[in-house]
Structure 1
Amino acid sequence: MATPDTRTQLLDAAERLFAEHGYRGTSIRAVTDLAGANLAAVGYHFGSKADLMVAVARRAIGPITEAQAAGLDRLLARTPDPSVADLVEAFAGPMFDGMPSGDEGGARRSRLIVTILSDPAEETRAWPGPAENDVRDRYLAAFARALPALTPEELWFRIRGVLAVTAVDRVDRYNTGPSPGTGDAARRWAITFLSAAMSAPPAET
């Protein structure tokens, strides 16, 4: 098998370190040391640490975003107004498919999503590009049609909750290992729970 090129080695190292230590807790030197590259390599291949974060996030989450978009396309081809449960399945399902519980790479991607959701560094929230923003906006619009009583702020809070619950479950499954009754069951449990959470009445003002 061919040895990964320097750019790929940097992405692999940065994904692991950002996921484990956060953006501010990861130095360029730590990334290059882990990748076995010289200190100037990040600047040459990416430009800056912030640009490296963008590249890491897009590489890790891009396939999930593409699957989410395809799932929504299939739903909307059947009906202009999918149910909340169907929308949750289309949105959360690819995270289970793209982050299998027994796969180290899947666990890293899960931890990276948790980092993106929780890290206070602004750089962790600057990674989405036009494609990612388009998928986000399309899901927001579809959920808004299905849940018209929710304000945009509360709706976005709940969607972030879907991301968080799914990512934390994937990390936990990898760390603890499979147990009786888990596997595909965990996906069903999550979709059922998250559909109910998304469908809950609006919080009182």
Structure 2
Amino acid sequence: MASPDTRTQILDAAERLFAEHGYRGTSVRAITRLAGANLAAVGYHFGSKAELMAAVARRVVEPMNAAQRAGLDELLARTPDPTVGDLVEAFAGPMFDRMPAGDEGSARTSRLIVTILSDPAEEARNWTGPAEDSVRERYLAAFARALPDLAPQELRFRMRGILAVTAVDRLEAHQQPSPGCESPAAGEASRGWAITFLTAAMSAPPTRI
């Protein structure tokens, strides 16, 4: 098997370091040192550290977005008004499928998603483009039809909660595996628990302030 090219080595190193240390806590020098590349390689392949962050995030998120898009297409082909539970399954399910417990790569992906959600650096959050925005907006519209009493701001908050709960659960499953966690049955059970919990959270009455 051919060894990874320089661009892939830089992406691999950056994903690991961004996930462990955040955007500001990771220097380009540390990335290139881990990748075995020279400093100029980041500029040549990505243009800047911010663009490298964007490339790392998209490499992780795009397969999930593709599965989320396909799941929503399938739901809408069956009915114009999917249930909240079906929407949660289509939105959160791909994240469980792409981040199985007990896998170091999955744990790194989970850490990176947590970083994207929580890192104070704008570069860690403002990397999305039309493809990512399209998936999010389509789900927001579908959830809004299923939950017409929710204010748009609260709906967005709850959808962020789906991302956060799923990423943290997958990371914890890797770091502190429960007895039997590695078995397929336990993994499927964890997925089911999350979908049930998140469906209830999304379906809760609007908050009255």
Q: In structure 2, what is the equivalent of residue 145 of structure 1? A: 145
Q: In structure 1, what is the equivalent of residue 57 of structure 2? A: 57
Instruction: State the AA in 1 paired with 2:14.
Output: A
Distance 2:65 2:138 in 1: 12
Distance 2:144 2:172 in 1: 31
Q: In structure 1, what is the equivalent of residue 172 of structure 2? A: 172
User: 1:139 offset after TM fit, Å?
Assistant: 0.1
Q: In structure 2, what is the equivalent of residue 66 of structure 1? A: 66
Structure 2 residue matching 1:59: 3-state secondary structure: helix
Structure 2 residue matching 1:203: 3-state secondary structure: coil
Q: In structure 2, what is the equivalent of residue 27 of structure 1? A: 27
User: 1:179 offset after TM fit, Å?
Assistant: 2.2
Q: In structure 1, what is the equivalent of residue 115 of structure 2? A: 115
Distance 1:134 1:63 in 2: 14
2:200 to 150, 172, 196: 196
User: 1:177 offset after TM fit, Å?
Assistant: 2.6
Distance 1:64 1:107 in 2: 15
Q: In structure 1, what is the equivalent of residue 83 of structure 2? A: 83
Answer yes or no: is 1:135 the counterpart of 2:139: no
> Identity over aligned residues, as a percent?
75
Instruction: State the AA in 1 paired with 2:101.
Output: S
Structure 1 residue matching 2:58: 3-state secondary structure: helix
Answer yes or no: is 1:155 the counterpart of 2:155: yes
Structure 2 residue matching 1:2: 3-state secondary structure: coil
User: 1:178 offset after TM fit, Å?
Assistant: 4.6
Distance 1:128 1:73 in 2: 21
Structure 1 vs Structure 2 CA RMSD: 0.9
Answer yes or no: is 1:186 the counterpart of 2:198: no
User: 1:104 offset after TM fit, Å?
Assistant: 1.2
Distance 1:105 1:202 in 2: 37
Q: 4+ residue stretches of structure 1 with deviation over 6 A?
A: none
When structure 1 is superposed on structure 2, of 45-54 and 171-180 the one drifting more is 171-180
When structure 1 is superposed on structure 2, of 39-48 and 181-190 the one drifting more is 181-190
User: 1:180 offset after TM fit, Å?
Assistant: 3.0
Distance 1:180 1:26 in 2: 36
Instruction: State the AA in 2 paired with 1:132.
Output: E
User: 1:127 offset after TM fit, Å?
Assistant: 1.5
Structure 2 residue matching 1:127: 3-state secondary structure: coil
When structure 1 is superposed on structure 2, of 195-204 and 125-134 the one drifting more is 125-134
Deviation sequence 1:35-88 (CA, Å, 0-9, x none): 000111100100000000000000011000000000000000000000000000
Distance 2:200 2:146 in 1: 13
Structure 1 residue matching 2:102: 3-state secondary structure: coil
Q: In structure 2, what is the equivalent of residue 102 of structure 1? A: 102
Distance 1:167 1:173 in 2: 10
Structure 1 residue matching 2:200: 3-state secondary structure: helix
Number of corresponding residues: 205
Structure 2 residue matching 1:179: 3-state secondary structure: coil
When structure 1 is superposed on structure 2, of 172-181 and 186-195 the one drifting more is 172-181
Distance 1:27 1:178 in 2: 35
Distance 1:140 1:114 in 2: 21
Structure 2 residue matching 1:202: 3-state secondary structure: coil
